[in-house]
Amino acid sequence: MCELCGPADEPSIPVSLTAASNSVGSAPAGRPTVGRRAVLTGLGGLAAAGLAACGNGSGSAAPSGSARPTARRSAGPVADAKLAVALLGTQAGPLPTPDRAGIATALVVDGATYIVDCGRSAVTQFVRSGLRLGSVRAIFLTHLHADHVADFYTFFLMGSQPVIGLPGPIPVYGPGPAGGLPTAYGGAQVPTVEPQSPTPGTKEMTDRLTEAFAYSDNVFLRDTTTRDVADLSVVHEIALPAVGATYLNTAPVTSPFEVMEDDRVKVTATLVPHGPVFPAFAYRFDTAHGSVTFSGDTRETDNLITLARDTDLLIHEAVNVQGSVLQGANLEHMLASHVEVQKVGPIAQRAGAKQLVLSHIADFANDPLDPAQWQQWAKAGYDGPVTIGADLQTITLA
């Protein structure tokens, strides 16, 4: 069982792997499941079908004669890896489920940790994975949907203790303001939240969160030895290249551009189309030990193919809508914002990715999703090994 559900000392699961404001460029037996038709009546049900068994991380066998890396549920070795990924949460969408936490991933490079997205329970999952808050070097947000940032500020609220907390200040890289809102689906009249500033970017979002938690921060500063939460982050809103991108043209052809570089990683990004969301990014991390590319939330796009060219590991989102009851706005949202699992294999093949891992996953027809079926779908059109991600799996590349 995963640590969300029970003991974490079960055998490891084999996974086939190929080693190598500043502007910058099936639920366990007896566990209740959520009724699909009850929750798929609106966008709040987008993640309902993402319920999955603890133990859904299946992978194809390692090549004959090669080492056999494993995806571990237990904590520990990943923290000191040369290059490894910990899938903290693998759920797509905002609806809480008992067996998958919100989307969040930790990349470990020579013992330093880089976090990509901070979905629901990310902080708890971070600790469960055996990672140390003191190892965090940066946080990257692919976009500002709630299911990707629900636990973002919690890292700072809970990491303010000296010595055992965040080293701080932590660089945060994420989208700037969208600059406008699209019209509502079907021309419907909908309210605008905070009309004086309805499209805040990462910096304003962080500042507003600091204001919202002012009382907690002020009391702890006077009652304990915590540090000021406002001093624990330095937000960098990613400057976009001059490609004509706007909230009405969210992902024109974009060459990879540099976001940051330190002594362990070089991070490049590209714009990806995620429905009306703007900006939405995919990230690539190049290290001395290999490369890892994160698709973020996206539909098919040549921008990602270019970014992920010959990457050692492609972590890609996917959904299944075949046989589902989704219709209207909900179905159109899925098709305009995500890649169907049946179509993800050719993306990895075109990119020349050496390994494909699916995370941020949801099946809107099967509850829970069938990892064997998903692997069959994802393998179609792709020659490399495929892993259907599960919470707290770790994938060691070096």
What pTM, to 2 d.p., does this model score? 0.83
Task: Classify each residue of 317-335 as buried b or exposed e, where b means 16 or more C-beta atoms within 10 Å of its C-beta.
Answer: bbbbbeebebeeebeebbe
Neighbours of 35 (CB within 10 A): 11
Q: Which CATH superfamily is domain 16-35+49-179+200-396 in?
A: Ribonuclease Z/Hydroxyacylglutathione hydrolase-like (3.60.15.10)
Cα gap 161→146, rounded to integer Å: 26
Task: Return the higher-pLDDT residue of 26 and 145.
Answer: 145
Whether 60 has a pLDDT exceeding 50, the answer reads no
Q: Which pLDDT value is given to residue 76?
A: 57
The model's pLDDT over 208-221, given as tens digits with 9 standing for 90+, comes to 999 999 999 999 99
Check if the beta carbon of residue 66 is closer than 8 Å to that of residue 14: no
Over residues 134-158, the mean pLDDT reads 97
Given a cut of 60, is residue 74 above it in pLDDT? no
Mean pLDDT, residues 13-22 = 34
Predicted pLDDT of residue 162: 82
The arithmetic mean of pLDDT across residues 19-24, rounded, is 36
Task: Report the pLDDT averaged over residues 385-398.
Answer: 96
Amino acid 240: pLDDT: 98
Domain boundaries, the chain: 16-35+49-179+200-396
Structure tokens at 354: 């050496």
